Amino acid sequence: DTGVSQDPRHKITKRGQNVTFRCDPISEHNRLYWYRQTLGQGPEFLTYFQNEAQLEKSRLLSDRFSAERPKGSFSTLEIQRTEQGDSAMYLCASRKPGELNTEAFFGQGTRLTVV
Amino acid sequence: GDSVTQMEGPVTLSEEAFLTINCTYTATGYPSLFWYVQYPGEGLQLLLKATKADDKGSNKGFEATYRKETTSFHLEKGSVQVSDSAVYFCGTGGYQKVTFGTGTKLQVIP
């Protein structure tokens, strides 16, 4: 499969624990995005990487959230001291280099439940 | 920043009915416009796109035309099927990111 891959698909954690999600974009896609989607809502932008550089972070992203893309390939999203309000689907997407306004390709998402 | 407004759902139609889902946007520059579809339990899939004014995107019988003068990108299909039941998201995308609307749930009944 050459699509965007996310791991794990589901995560249940206790409030206060830390969690980390991984995203493997489509090979050679240099732009990578993290979104959060709650029930009945559209995807909300969280952060964006071009290669290894994190170029934009949403104001929605609290200090408990951090994302990395150390070698410009896969990315991780970590949430520290999880809260019940963090329960959501976390989506990763990637886009081709070069073409300005090309579409984003999405992974299946990681569903986080904080209990 | 960019924003997208979609008509609220859910939209319930009988099979073979005509579908319109309205979408308007605000954006700087010359964004591309997208419609994505999300089937139950699945991720977002691109349905169609248009990259400049007056372009028409089409796929699987769905169409949408990039109207710069009205900042709209309404989704249409002439005859819906039960298999079209899903949530549809309109999006606007510049070089940096794609911004989505809240989604419109479509339910098609036999």
Q: How confident is the model at residue A100 (pLDDT cuts 50, 70, 90)?
A: low
Contact B86, B35 (CB under 8 A): no
The pLDDT of residue A84 is 96
Q: How confident is the model at residue A1 (pLDDT cuts 50, 70, 90)?
A: low
Contact B85, B95 (CB under 8 A): no
Structure tokens at B51: 């990259």
**Phi then psi dihedrals of residue B82, to 5 deg:** -55, -35
Structure tokens at B93: 């995308």
pLDDT (mean) for A57-65 = 90
The pLDDT of residue A111 is 96
Q: A85 in helix, strand or coil?
A: helix
pLDDT (mean) for A44-73 = 92
Contact B66, B50 (CB under 8 A): yes
Q: Which of A68, A64, A102 is nearest to A86 (CA)?
A: A64
Tell me whether A42 touches chain B (CB under 8 Å): yes
Structure tokens at B6: 């979609």
Rounded to whole angstroms, the Cα distance separating A34 from A23 reads 9
Whether residue B83 has pLDDT greater than 80 = yes
Tell me whether B7 touches chain A (CB under 8 Å): no
Give pLDDT tens digits for B17-34: 999 999 999 988 888 999
Q: Which of B82, B77, B84 is nearest to B58 (CA)?
A: B77
CA distance B71 to chain A (A): 17
Give pLDDT tens digits for B31-74: 899 999 999 888 899 999 999 999 999 999 999 999 999 999 99
CA distance B8 to chain A (A): 11
**Chain B interface, best mutation among A5, A37, A49, A101, by max B CB count within 10 A:** A101
Residues 6 or more apart whose Cβ sits within 8 Å of residue A53: none
Question: Which residues of A are less than 8 Å from B95 in CB distance?
Answer: 100-101
Give pLDDT tens digits for A6-25: 999 999 999 999 999 999 99
